Amino acid sequence: MEIIPAIDIIDGQCVRLSQGDYNKKTIYNSTPAEMAKYFERAGVKRIHVVDLDGAKAGYPCNLASLKEISESTSVDIEWGGGIKCREHLEAVIDAGAGHVIIGSLAVKQPVLMEEWLKEFGGDRIILGADLRDGMVSVSGWLEDSALTIDDLLERFLPYGLKEAIVTDISKDGMLQGPSTELYVDLAKRYPIIKFTVSGGISSMEDIKQLRNRGLDRVIVGKAIYECRIKLNELI
C-alpha cells in the first residue's frame, strides 16, 4: 500500500477543506515545505499537492510553494489545481512537479488532455476526477458537469491514460471512511489503470481495509493533520 499524504494550499498556507467547501477551511501552522519535509522524514516517496487558489482562479497561484517543496525535499510531487493551458502545464513542471493532475480541463477541453497524454505520457499526466453524486465536479468543486467517471476513463484510455485520482467529495475531509466499493468496482472494470483512493480516510484501519480489498494507493489528508494517523504509523 502506497500512502500519499496531501497538502492543500491557499495563500501559501496548508489548509484542509470539508467537502470541498472553501468556507469550511482549517489553516495549519506548518508551511507546505515544512509539511513536505515532515512527510519525507517518515519515508514518504510521493506527496499530493493541490493549489486550491489555482483551482478556483483557473491558473496556478502557488508556484512559489511548489518550487520551495521541490528544492527542499526529494519527494515526488503530484500537483494539481488551475492548469488550463500548456503554459500552465510547463510552469508547473518547471517549478518541480513530477506528475501533473488534470481535472477540469479534461472535462472542458478533452482534446487538449488527449494531446498532453500523447506528448508527456500517462506516467506524468494524471486524470483527477472529483465526484459528487456520481457526476464529475470541476473548477475547484464549484461546478458540476454532466459526465461520469466512466465517460472520462473511456475517452482517455486510448491515449495512454495510466493513473487516475478519484475523489468522493461527500467523503472528503469528513473522516468517516472512504467509498471503498466505488474504488473496488473501478479497479475491477479498468485493471490497466492505477487508481488512487481519495477522500474520507480516518485511520490506519481504513487503509488496511482498502489493502485487504486489493487497493494499493491512497491519499491521506485530514487524518494526518488531526493526528488520527501519526508519524510512527506512516513509517
Residue 130 a catalytic site member: yes
Which member of 53, 130, 168, 206 is catalytic?
130
Residue 197, beta-bridge partner list: 166, 218
> Which residue in this structure is represented by grid cell 478556483?
56
Query: What is the rounded CA–CA span in Å between residue 87 and residue 162?
Result: 23
Which member of 8, 51, 53, 172 is catalytic?
8
Q: Specify the length of the chain in residues.
A: 235
CA Rg, the chain, in Å? 16
Residue 8 a catalytic site member: yes
| Phi, psi for 228 (deg, rounded to 5) | -80, -25
∠ CA 19-217-214, nearest 5°, is: 110
Residue 189: CB atoms within 10 Å = 10
> Which residue in this structure is represented by grid cell 492543500?
8
Q: Which residues are catalytic?
A: 8, 130
